[in-house]
Amino acid sequence: VQIEIINTGTELLLGCILNTHQQWLCRKLSDLGYLIARQVTVPDTGPAIQEAVREALERADLILVTGGLGPTSDDRTRDFIATLLGRKLVHNQTVMDDINGFFARRHRATPAHTEVQALVPEGALVLRNRCGTAPGLAITIDAGKFKPGESWLIMLPGPPNELHPMFDEQVAPLLKSHLPLREPFLSLTLNTTGLGESVVENKIASPLKTLVDAGLEIGYCARPSEVDVRLSARGAHAKQLISQAEQIVRGLVGEYIFGASNQELPSVIIGLLARKHKTLAVAESCTGGNLAHRLTNVPGASAVFLGGWITYQNAAKEKFLGVQAKTLAEHGAVSEPTAREMALGARTRMCADYALSITGIAGPGGGSGAKPVGTVFIGLATPDRVDVVQRFNPLDRETFKYVTTQQALELLRRELLG
């Protein structure tokens, strides 16, 4: 199945917003076993959209077009494509009822110009929008009109919170039934932390060689403090290949694998704490709340995450966590003893089972010969002891925060798994 993606939006080409649809759709489609042949981004203008769609229709079996289905004057994707295909736009009462319902539930009157979103090209399948107003539209284009075989053209709304559920709930099933893969496809992603990409590859590549010869594909995706290993295979033996490969990978780097299928470390931690009925507190300095932020991004965090402190200056470390003035004077704020007292103070004062503490030098200033920029101490207080590890993360401030919180979470994950 030849697939192309067209993202519309002048704002994407001005660099005002990041084209996350491109990544999100490619990821979703490739996890389903579909490969994307081409992706283009075009401005909101008629000629640009029509030219891109016409060209894609000459090649692709499926074209996904995103954006420009809304009610404003720059939202004209629907019109431009209907014109190109020579289809009339017809008022669709089901869509209009959905739109009226959307505003009624919010106790707002339906705005006047909204009815343009109830216009549907003749013969199009409506993909109802449960998170917004503009429906998605799926159109089949007869064989011979642009290319010898039949094609599908699917228009999806721009806002990610509308596009994501619409794809998962309506487009993915439509692909399965109308554009099925030639052979079965399976993929599994194992998420690791604590090893670099080439180290992971060195450990697993040759043991997987026989399976690769039999059709297994391995992909590596390296991100700050994380390497994802993607195992995929097609055909009748796909399931067997993947499960054998998984066993080998887990045998070799199992302790570094914190999740599968793109789970995030904070949600793994919240899950582990919940299962064990344990609670957590945090004391952060250089990460400025990033650890608490990432933990509280997880739904249900309140069951196990009690709270924490951002103690940026020495006085705050003393006042709120009980770090000794003597400790700070003798060892400095970025030191093993300070991290230890921060973790202990947080655990005792919050009456938590566990506490994580972080103190370090994010830079660019503030480093020294003994403690260069990037030096960080991470403390973990448990019911019976305090561990402190030292790490070196010489990165920009934002990446530093992310990588450091990842290391703190990984320390706790290993403790919780014993």
Chain positions contacting Mg ion, by CB under 5 A: 70, 75
Task: Report in angstroms how near the CB of residue 292 gets to Mg ion at its nearest.
Answer: 35
Nearer to ligand ATP by C-beta: 159 or 332?
159
Instruction: Write the DSSP assignment of 117-176 as a string of letters.
Output: GGEEETTPEEE--SSSSSPEEEEEE-TTTSSSS-EEEEEE-SSHHHHHHHIIIIIHHHHH
Nearer to ligand ATP by C-beta: 62 or 134?
134
Task: Report in angstroms how near the CB of residue 39 gets to ligand ATP at its nearest.
Answer: 10
CB hemisphere CA count around 48 (13 angstroms):
16
Query: Using the rule CB under 6 A, which residue among 157, 194, 266, 379 binds ligand ATP?
Result: 157
Whole-number Å distance between alpha carbons of 383 and 294: 24
By DSSP bridging, strand 375-381 and strand 386-392 are antiparallel
Task: Report in angstroms how near the CB of residue 310 gets to ligand ATP at its nearest.
Answer: 30
Q: Does 129 bind ligand ATP (CB under 6 A)?
A: no
**Cβ atoms of 130 and 148 closer than 8 Å:** no
Nearer to Mg ion by C-beta: 133 or 151?
133
Whole-number Å distance between alpha carbons of 181 and 160: 26
Whole-number Å distance between alpha carbons of 125 and 119: 12
Whole-number Å distance between alpha carbons of 328 and 318: 9
CA-wise closest residue to 200 among 180, 225, 174, 177: 225
Contacted entry of ligand ATP, Mg ion, none for residue 12, CB cut-off 5 to 8 Å set by kind: ligand ATP
Q: Does 67 bind ligand ATP (CB under 6 A)?
A: yes
CA-wise closest residue to 99 among 122, 81, 120: 120
**Cβ atoms of 69 and 129 closer than 8 Å:** no
Binding mask 208-247 for ligand ATP (x = CB under 6 A): ----------------------------------------
Q: Does 313 bind ligand ATP (CB under 6 A)?
A: no
- Contacts with ligand ATP by CB under 6 A: the residue count is 20
Q: Does 12 bind ligand ATP (CB under 6 A)?
A: yes
Query: Using the rule CB under 6 A, which residue among 47, 111, 149, 160 binds ligand ATP?
Result: 160
Task: Report in angstroms how near the CB of residue 158 gets to Mg ion at its nearest.
Answer: 6
Cα separation values, 111 from 73, 104, 127, 161, Å: 14, 11, 22, 21
Q: Which helix (H) or strand (E) segment is 378 a member of?
A: strand 375-381
Task: Report in angstroms how near the CB of residue 95 gets to Mg ion at its nearest.
Answer: 16
Q: Does 135 bind ligand ATP (CB under 6 A)?
A: no
Whole-number Å distance between alpha carbons of 133 and 110: 10
Q: Does 134 bind ligand ATP (CB under 6 A)?
A: yes
Contacted entry of Mg ion, ligand ATP, none for residue 337, CB cut-off 5 to 8 Å set by kind: none
Q: Does 333 bind ligand ATP (CB under 6 A)?
A: no
Query: Using the rule CB under 6 A, which residue among 29, 34, 68, 265 binds ligand ATP?
Result: 68
Contacted entry of Mg ion, ligand ATP, none for residue 17, CB cut-off 5 to 8 Å set by kind: ligand ATP
Nearer to Mg ion by C-beta: 70 or 121?
70
Q: Does 70 bind ligand ATP (CB under 6 A)?
A: yes
Contacted entry of Mg ion, ligand ATP, none for residue 140, CB cut-off 5 to 8 Å set by kind: none
Task: Give the distance from CA 273 to its chain's centroid.
Answer: 22
Q: Does 345 bind ligand ATP (CB under 6 A)?
A: no
Q: Which helix (H) or strand (E) segment is 253 a member of?
A: helix 238-253
Task: Report in angstroms how near the CB of residue 75 gets to Mg ion at its nearest.
Answer: 4
Q: Does 29 bind ligand ATP (CB under 6 A)?
A: no
Q: Which helix (H) or strand (E) segment is 259 a member of?
A: strand 257-260
Judged by the rule CB under 6 A, the positions of this chain that interact with ligand ATP are: 7, 9, 11-12, 17, 19-21, 66-70, 72, 75, 134, 157-160
